[in-house]
Amino acid sequence: MNDQPDATEPLEEEVRDPYLEYGTALAERLGGRAVVEHDTIRIYVDRSNWVETIRRARDEEGLDFFSWLTGIDWSKDVEVGDTVAEPDELEERFEVMCRLSSVEGVAGAHFIAALPKDDAVIDSITGVFGGAEWHEREAHDMFGIEFTGNPNLSPIYLPEGFIGHPLLKSYPLLAREVKPWPGTVDVEDMPPEPEEPAGGGEA
């Protein structure tokens, strides 16, 4: 339903993917590389063009709705959770991702800039979108990414004096260090039965 092309129809070859067309054209105009899958447009840009791309997307492409900004930690080794599908081929890096969309229609794209792990610095886009300040603070908390030009890069979620960046793949889930999970509690060996009934019930 919902006007999705029916896979059994012979027309399928000719059905245009509007997202692919839009994403490719958008990337060409803004000078990036587009990857479109599942109607989700990703545009990879160089970090030196980060602020400029965001500004042009807002001014020239009408993507003026600042939706969110976050980071991604691409790591070969993970402390908790699943690893990437092919760890050997992965280039370890941070990605800063910002979603802009429009308040007129479905148009929207995710702009991504890759940062090397040992130099996780990128220019702040707070000058373009005031709302980005909190999102950049969050990414700073969670990944340790520095945003040059953010007026107030203080911790937003983490308490003062907190050590580490929780969303890094190298960061352990502390609750699990204390108590293994999942399901381990249920299958834990029962304590050995005492030889004689402990009798009485005195605590």
Partner 1 sequence: MNEEYRALMHRSEVAVSVELQTQDMTLNIGPQHPSTHGVLRLVAQVDGERISSVEPVIGYMHRGYEKLAEVRTYAQMTALVNRIDWVSGFASEVPFIVAVEKLMGIEPPERAQWIRLILTELFRISSHMVFTSSYPLELGATTPLFHVLRERERVLELIEGMTGGRFHPNFNRVGGIKPAAGGGKTQKKVSMDIPEGWLEATRAAMERVLLSTEQSDTLVTGNELFKARTVGVGVIPGNKAIEYGLSGPNLRASGVPFDLRKHEFHLPYDQVDFNVISAPGGDCYDRYWVRLQEIRESVKIVLQAIDKIPEGPLRAKAPRVLKVPKGQIYVRGENPKGEFGYYLISEGGQKPYRLKIRSTSFSNLSILPWVLKGALVPDLVAVMGSLDFVLGDVDR
Among 8, 11, 16, 81, binds partner 1 (CB under 8 A): 81
Among 176, 177, 180, 184, binds partner 1 (CB under 8 A): 176
Q: How far is the CB of 100 from partner 1 (least distance, A)?
A: 10
**Residue 62: how many CA atoms within 13 Å on its side-chain side?**
6
**End-to-end C-alpha distance for the chain, whole angstroms:** 65
Question: Does residue 131 belong to the site contacting partner 1 (CB under 8 A)?
Answer: yes
Q: Are 122 and 71 contacting, i.e. CB atoms less than 8 angstroms apart? A: no
CA separation, residue 135 to residues 39, 52, 157, 168 (Å):
24, 18, 11, 16
Question: Does residue 83 belong to the site contacting partner 1 (CB under 8 A)?
Answer: yes
Question: Does residue 99 belong to the site contacting partner 1 (CB under 8 A)?
Answer: yes
Number of amino acids touching partner 1 (CB under 8 A): 48
Question: Does residue 20 belong to the site contacting partner 1 (CB under 8 A)?
Answer: no
Q: How far is the CB of 177 from partner 1 (least distance, A)?
A: 12
How is the chain split among helix, strand and coil, in percent rounded to 5?
30, 20, 50
* Residue 47 or 97 with smaller CB distance to partner 1: 97
Question: Does residue 105 belong to the site contacting partner 1 (CB under 8 A)?
Answer: yes
* Residue 48 or 180 with smaller CB distance to partner 1: 180
Element of type H or E holding 5: none
Among 9, 17, 37, 177, binds partner 1 (CB under 8 A): 37
Among 6, 104, 118, 189, binds partner 1 (CB under 8 A): 104
Strand partners, 111: 43, 98
Strand order in 108-115's β-sheet?
33-37, 40-45, 108-115, 93-101, 65-74
* Residue 38 or 198 with smaller CB distance to partner 1: 38
Residue 128 CA to chain centroid, in angstroms?
A: 21
Buried b (16+ CB within 10 A) or exposed e, 21-49: ebbbebbeebebebbbeeeebbbbbebeb
Question: Does residue 178 belong to the site contacting partner 1 (CB under 8 A)?
Answer: no
- Residues near partner 1, by CB under 8 A: 1-3, 37-40, 42, 64-68, 70, 72-73, 80-85, 97, 99, 103-106, 110, 129-131, 133-135, 142, 155-159, 166-167, 171, 173, 176, 181-182
